[in-house]
Amino acid sequence: MVVETLRSARPVPRSSKRLSRMQRHIALTGMIFVAPAVIYVLIFNIFPVIYAFYLSFTNYNPLDRQGPQLQGLDNYRAILASDQFWNALRVTTLYTIEVLPPSIILAIALALLANKPLRGIGLFRAMFYLPRIVSLAAVSLIWLWLYSDHGILSYLASFFGGGVIGWLTSPALALSAVAVMRIWKSLGGNMVLFLAALQGIPQDLYEAAAIDGAGRWAKTLHVTLPGLRPMIVYVTTINIVYLFQSFSELYIMTQGGPVESTTTVNILIYNQAFQYNQLGQASATAFLLFAVIFIFAFFNIRLISARRTAS
């Protein structure tokens, strides 16, 4: 998506004589316009990241008076050799796999539903969007109650036999239970994006397909889904970036337990940084996570973009 949209940003070249003056003026204005954003992000986002990268090669403990001491690759070696890290990576990947596909598919279905020209559809759309604007922390507390033994989910489950189910206290169920909550929260936000994409698909494509004798399912398969592809790429990429950094909901609902079945890499980083004061190690773990995210995001874009047929 990034690649495609980058291409579309290139203006069509005109006659080369008129290019230089006009283009230079535009380029200068462009640089001035992005200056505030770039300067700010450079100073307050990028620079801390670079500093954190430097810290990942040190044994920095914020409490120590002497400041960071370089230690070479020791942190990286120690982390890559620790079972805890690999378990956390496994948990994080599992969590992403459990959340991402259902939330995309359900969001598309919801968008198709919410695209119908019915009276009051705007109200329904706003309702679906509600979980998006409530904070993740608040939502985690709500679901903490839902999953507790005196919560409504336990009550509903009791109708299907069995006693108290430890949704959040059983190592086999905890991660999936939180994943359900995350899917629920993401539906509205993703839905709105897909809705916009749906409304951008030209009507004539549908009409052409109808003329070719396509029924409803065929239309969906050959017009709707391909038309949604750019948005699917965008949504999956953004979601991958965020899901791999999951922290709040798991910290609040299970504190990484039971028996580390919900300890994501970001929880590990948090503990290393703020419970053990090992900021050097935490930074190293963070950059290992960054590498993983980058690879997944990159492959995600390539994978879905590459299968693009002429349309």
Residues 6+ apart with CB under 8 A from 245: 266, 289, 293
Using the rule CB under 8 A, is 299 a contact of other proteins? no
Per-residue binding letters, 168-207, with other proteins (x by CB under 8 A): xxxx------------x--xx---xx-xxx-xxxxx----
Using the rule CB under 8 A, is 44 a contact of other proteins? yes
d(CA 100, CA 104): 6
Using the rule CB under 8 A, is 276 a contact of other proteins? yes
Question: Which listed range, 97-105, 125-133, 213-221, 299-307, lies at the site for other proteins (CB under 8 A)?
Answer: 125-133
* Least CB distance to other proteins at residue 93 (A): 15
Which amino acid is it at 214?
A: A
Can you tell me whether residue 65 is helix, strand or coil?
Answer: coil
Using the rule CB under 8 A, is 145 a contact of other proteins? yes
CB 88 within 8 A of CB 263: yes
* Least CB distance to other proteins at residue 70 (A): 16
Torsion, CA 185, CA 157, CA 171, CA 180, rounded to 10: -10
Supply the DSSP symbol for 154.
Answer: H
Using the rule CB under 8 A, is 305 a contact of other proteins? no
Using the rule CB under 8 A, is 119 a contact of other proteins? yes
CB 168 within 8 A of CB 87: no
Using the rule CB under 8 A, is 301 a contact of other proteins? no
Using the rule CB under 8 A, is 110 a contact of other proteins? yes
* Least CB distance to other proteins at residue 242 (A): 9
> Residues binding other proteins: what is the number (CB under 8 A)?
135
Q: Which residues, numbered 17-36, are part of the site for other proteins (CB under 8 A)?
A: 23, 25-31, 33-34, 36
Q: Which residues, numbered 66-105, are part of the site for other proteins (CB under 8 A)?
A: none
Using the rule CB under 8 A, which residue among 48, 70, 90, 225 binds other proteins?
48
Closest CB to other proteins among 25 and 302? 25
b (16+ CB within 10 A) / e for 290-302 = eebbeebbeebbe
Using the rule CB under 8 A, is 151 a contact of other proteins? yes
Using the rule CB under 8 A, is 274 a contact of other proteins? yes
Using the rule CB under 8 A, which residue among 129, 157, 222, 226 binds other proteins?
129
Supply the DSSP symbol for 258.
Answer: S
Question: Which listed range, 96-104, 116-124, 211-219, 300-308, lies at the site for other proteins (CB under 8 A)?
Answer: 116-124
Residues in the chain: 311
The residue whose two tokens read 């596909």 is 101
Using the rule CB under 8 A, is 208 a contact of other proteins? no
Exposure of 4 by Cβ count < 10 A (0-12 exposed, 13-18 middle, 19+ buried)? middle
CB 232 within 8 A of CB 292: no
Question: How many CA atoms does the CB half-sphere of 192 hold within 13 Å?
Answer: 15
Using the rule CB under 8 A, which residue among 73, 97, 126, 208 binds other proteins?
126
Using the rule CB under 8 A, is 63 a contact of other proteins? yes
Residues 6+ apart with CB under 8 A from 2: 237, 301
Q: Which residues, numbered 223-262, are part of the site for other proteins (CB under 8 A)?
A: 230-231, 234, 238, 241, 245, 247-248, 251-252, 255, 257-260
